[in-house]
Amino acid sequence: MQPNTLLDAILDEAGISHAGLAAHVNQAGKARGLSLRYEHTAVARWLKGQRPRGQVPDLICEVLAARLQRTVALDDIGLGVPGIPAARQGSMASTLSGFVERATALWRSDEQQRPHLLGAPAVTGTPAVMPVWEWENPPEDVDVSRGGRHPVSMAEVEMMRAARTHYEQMYRKTGGVAMRTRIVGFLNAEAAPLLRGSYTDAMGRQLHRATGGLVAIAGICAYDSDAHGLAQRYFHQALRLAKASGDRGLGAYVIALLVNQSLFMREYRQAVAFAEAALRAAGRDITPALASDLYAMQAKAYAHLGDGSSALSCIRRAEAAADRIRRGREPDETGYVQPGLVNVQVAEALLSLGDLTGAHEHAAAAVDTPAHDRGRVHRLAMLSQIELRQGNTDEAVATAVEMAEQARGMESQRLRDRLRAVREHLVRSDCAGTAEAAELIDGALRVPL
């Protein structure tokens, strides 16, 4: 039995307490000739996942519709009839408004740290592919305007954009574990009321774009916390918001995040297909920075699949796109594609292909290029592993020491994975200086998550 997050969220929106809902349901039932005696404890059971009996689900919809002054159907409160399409139940689930209600319900549940969300695995197969297919293909959102209580202003949209930049910068410095709760709290407190507000089509598209950027960062933080099912749901939400905004470039950026997660999950064919979809569908809207990252990740996927020819072709395309990057002409979201990022991606692909010389050349170039704190740790980790594979133990130890010192204080599951991998390689080498480097890595790993 799963908690009914939709009912929980819509009660919060309507401003009805558990006892209040019970009283209103009893009153609505009386008008139908029913003798009901529900109390707040019954509502608590419904929120835990128990389905009310008889006509009660319809009564709940009636009460909430009167309160919110809009149609509320069974699927909107998490009580849809299994096996019956949402459209036949009169639900908003297939509309943009329905999506907003489901998205905000997820944010609320995440802020409440519901265990069933944090531990959920990422979906694979058709459920993983469908959001990308729906983004790429018609129909488009003809009108995203909404008539809510609060008129959304341009200043509020700008506030959302500034928040995205702020949380991204903090994530780069401290990792996603600590930042996820902060950004999810912001989504609930600021973004949810705005999405339910009043706006024209033009303002709505800017609002959905700004929100999509924020939700993508929430997904990145969830991914960095090892909550892969939750991260995937955030990425899918961000993709839907990108479609509503009409910004193909934003959608391609979100798909790049899904490509990165697919690589981590070793879904290499999916990674190739997703990257190809982004490059194909975004077309002229894709920027050189994003194209370079997508091609580089494709190269890694092909290398893992043992297709050296395709990997090398993608490497050439990634490098060509990187040469066309012009700072100041890129959107905020692609700021992560800093100088040297393609080098470290290419180094990983070449390492998988067994080209240690080429991998070292690219990894060294990446380390020699300035990067934000988090990126530098990843680059040093890659260089250290390559140096160990080449038998350059002294250099590998020195690189690992710098990596451990740089990583100290960061709360990131992905960085911990990197640190553990380097430590394991060092211990296996059993050469002078490896014990000291391993001890420093252990110190960095002691940071609680």
Domain span holding position 86 = 5-94
Confidence of residue 94 (pLDDT cuts 50, 70, 90): low
Give the model's pLDDT for residue 368. Answer: 94
Locate 373 and state its tokens. Answer: 């704190």
Locate 89 and state its tokens. Answer: 């139940």
pLDDT of residue 15 exceeding 70, the answer is yes
Higher pLDDT, 204 or 104: 204
pTM exceeds 0.85: no
pLDDT of residue 280 exceeding 50, the answer is yes
Give the model's pLDDT for residue 4. Answer: 85
281 in a domain, yes or no? no
Give the model's pLDDT for residue 81. Answer: 64
Give the model's pLDDT for residue 195. Answer: 96
Between 60-69, 233-242, 291-300, 317-326, the lowest mean confidence (pLDDT) is in 60-69
Q: Find all residues with CB under 8 Å of 364, minimum gap 6, and list them.
A: 383
Contact 411, 174 (CB under 8 A): yes
Q: How many CB atoms lie within 10 A of CB 15?
A: 9
206 in a domain, yes or no? no
Give the model's pLDDT for residue 25. Answer: 95
Domain boundary among 39, 70, 94: 94
Give the model's pLDDT for residue 90. Answer: 39
pLDDT of residue 84 exceeding 70, the answer is no
Domain boundary among 64, 94, 124: 94
The pLDDT of 255-270, averaged and rounded, is: 97
Confidence of residue 387 (pLDDT cuts 50, 70, 90): very high
Q: Distance (Å, rounded) from C-alpha 336 to C-alpha 227?
A: 21
Give the model's pLDDT for residue 298. Answer: 98
First vs last C-alpha separation in the chain = 29
The 10s digit of each residue's pLDDT in 166-209 is: 999 999 988 899 899 999 999 999 999 999 999 999 999 999 99
197 in a domain, yes or no? no
Give the model's pLDDT for residue 117. Answer: 77
The pLDDT of 343-348, averaged and rounded, is: 96
Give the model's pLDDT for residue 92. Answer: 39
Higher pLDDT, 82 or 113: 113
105 in a domain, yes or no? no
DSSP lists the bridge partners of residue 146 as 199
Q: Distance (Å, rounded) from C-alpha 341 to C-alpha 376?
A: 10
The 10s digit of each residue's pLDDT in 17-73 is: 999 999 999 999 998 888 999 999 999 999 888 999 889 999 999 999 898 887 788
Residue length, the chain? 449
Give the 3-state secondary structure of residue 199.
strand
Give the model's pLDDT for residue 430. Answer: 67
Contact 48, 3 (CB under 8 A): yes
Q: Distance (Å, rounded) from C-alpha 92 to C-alpha 73?
A: 8
- Helix residue spans in 338-372 (DSSP H): 341-353, 356-367
Give the model's pLDDT for residue 82. Answer: 56
The 10s digit of each residue's pLDDT in 396-435 is: 888 988 998 888 888 888 888 888 888 888 887 766 667 7
Domain boundary among 42, 71, 94: 94
Give the model's pLDDT for residue 116. Answer: 73
102 in a domain, yes or no? no
Give the model's pLDDT for residue 93. Answer: 41
Contact 293, 341 (CB under 8 A): yes
24 in a domain, yes or no? yes
Give the model's pLDDT for residue 444. Answer: 76
Q: Find all residues with CB under 8 Å of 328, minimum gap 6, and list them.
A: none
Closest CA to 234 of 252, 208, 257: 257
User: What does the angle CA 118 – CA 188 – CA 198 come to, to the nearest 5 degrees?
Assistant: 140
30 in a domain, yes or no? yes
The pLDDT of 143-149, averaged and rounded, is: 92
φ, ψ for residue 151, nearest 5 deg: -70, 125
Between 73-82, 131-140, 315-324, the lowest mean confidence (pLDDT) is in 73-82
**Crossing angle for the helix pair 248-264 and 228-245, to the nearest 10 degrees:** 160
Closest CA to 117 of 205, 181, 70, 56: 181
φ, ψ for residue 305, nearest 5 deg: -80, -5
The pLDDT of 113-120, averaged and rounded, is: 78
Closest CA to 132 of 267, 266, 271, 228: 271
Tally of domains in the chain: 2
129 in a domain, yes or no? no
Give the model's pLDDT for residue 105. Answer: 87
